[in-house]
Amino acid sequence: MNEKKYWIWLGMVFGGGCRRLWQLMNIFETAEEVCCEILSGSRLLNLTDGERKNINSYSLKNAEDLIAECSRMGIGIAAYSEKEYPNQLRYIADPPPVLFYKGNIGCLTGTKTITSVGTRRAGDYSISVCRRICSELASKGFVIVSGFAVGIDITSHMAAAELDLPTACVLGCGVDVDYPKENFKFRDKILASGGVFVSEYPPGTRPHRGSFPKRNRILSALGRAAIVFEAAENSGSIITAKLAAEQGRELFVLPPADIFSFSYGGNIRLLREGAVPVMSVDDITDFFKPGSSADAYIKSDAFAYIIDSKPIQHTEAPKASLENEFLEQKKVNPTDNRNDSLFQQRHDDNNKSDVQISFDSIPEGLARDISMLLYNEGRLHADVICTKLGINAAELMIELTELEIIGAVRSCPGRLYEFVS
């Protein structure tokens, strides 16, 4: 919490996406050191009048209060120095010092992500193609990132959510603000599908004209590639696409339904400048194939996420297994309704299934450790499982094969695995 409060306070003083903050971070090693230097009244920092005014207006107590308020509201905070912070943002120009989020921010880490952009007033052709492409991508393990606006954005999100798959919504306001109101009805479904709402703006921040262009650098960066479905020249979607290209992301563009239509002017311009035309979902999946640079970045980010995690040493002794850790947690929290002896299928709102997987059917030892890890932490990359359990890939594959045969674990695209729940 201490490091978090310093990042939040720096965001209050300098604002999100401020280059001044990162100039200081190049001098000092931690956010706490920057805060201490500022609060010491040092004249070496050459602060502006506006920054000095903010220093007098906000205290570290304000940051602590914000943390408490977010906790009360069920809103998470990922600071730049924390492993929950999406690695895709660390190396862009002026990354947000903190991200406020509602939902599963882990869906952005170690996974194939693609940013989908387009106009709010999209035609039937673009909407139809967007729904189909995003649905196919989601089913292949991609997390769709978009801006939660009407039109292309919400079509992209719901293509994933309707399959009960995660999608990430990047907002230009607080994550608790219902904007746009037309899309309020989709929030619960997106969250129930394992998705997330993220913003660099604190809860309660209302949208304003300047917040969305600023938000676009986050929107473009969270995807490992970007796809433009329909955009006029000089539109916000084109700005996002340009940012994606500047950030080193591959840019895919839907060929226009009508080359004379003003609404596809941006598509034509991007295609002329060298963007990859999308003729099928294969054009995108080929870019992420195993061994590609995109695949390497995903694996690298997966390792970055668990770099500070202490590996769980596997041993045949039952006391060292994750099963025992789970039972100990049960003693501490007796209100936890997860069954002690069964991995019980979680029910969705429609009570889709009453299937239960007997814990006794899972072999003791490593197989059960793997199952408990996936049950407790959700979908994980194979390399992450190896690191957390302190085993090699060969050992993991043997156990995963057996777990898939008995139906306890399911493989997902991109060497991801999840417990069947």
d(CA 385, CA 391): 8
Length, in residues, of the chain:
421
The pTM of the whole model exceeds 0.85? no
Residue reference for tokens 């998470």: 76
Give the residue from 341, 413, 419, 415 showing the smallest Cα distance to 136: 413
The encoded tokens of residue 206 equal: 């209302």
- What angle (nearest 5°) sits at the alpha carbon of residue 288, between those of residues 287 and 294? 100
The pLDDT tens digits along the chain (421 residues) read 468 999 999 999 998 767 888 888 888 889 999 999 899 887 777 888 888 899 999 999 999 999 999 999 999 999 999 989 999 998 888 899 999 999 999 999 889 999 999 999 999 999 999 999 999 999 999 999 999 999 999 999 999 999 999 999 999 999 999 999 999 899 999 999 999 999 999 999 999 888 898 999 999 999 999 999 999 998 989 999 999 999 989 999 999 999 999 999 999 999 999 999 999 999 999 999 887 877 777 776 666 555 554 443 333 333 334 444 444 444 445 444 433 333 333 334 333 333 445 656 787 888 888 988 888 878 777 777 887 888 877 788 888 888 888 888 888 755 678 888 6
Q: Are 240 and 249 in contact (CB under 8 A)?
A: no
Sequence-distant (6+) residues with CB within 8 A of 63 are: 5, 6, 8, 9, 12
The encoded tokens of residue 288 equal: 């992420």
Long-range Cβ contact pairs of 371-377 (< 8 A, separation 24 or more):
371/343, 371/403, 371/408, 371/409, 371/419, 372/321, 372/322, 372/323, 372/325, 372/326, 373/312, 373/322, 374/409, 374/417, 374/418, 374/419, 375/343, 375/419, 375/421, 376/322, 376/326
The encoded tokens of residue 361 equal: 């059917």
d(CA 330, CA 218): 39
- What angle (nearest 5°) sits at the alpha carbon of residue 296, between those of residues 292 and 301? 150
Q: Express each pLDDT in 99-157 by its tens digit.
A: 999 999 999 988 999 999 999 999 999 999 999 999 999 999 999 999 999 999 999 99
Instruction: Count helices and strands (H / E) in the chain.
Output: 17, 14
Mean pLDDT over all residues of the chain? 84
Q: Express each pLDDT in 5-26 by its tens digit.
A: 999 999 999 987 678 888 888 8
Q: How many CB atoms lie within 10 A of CB 416?
A: 21
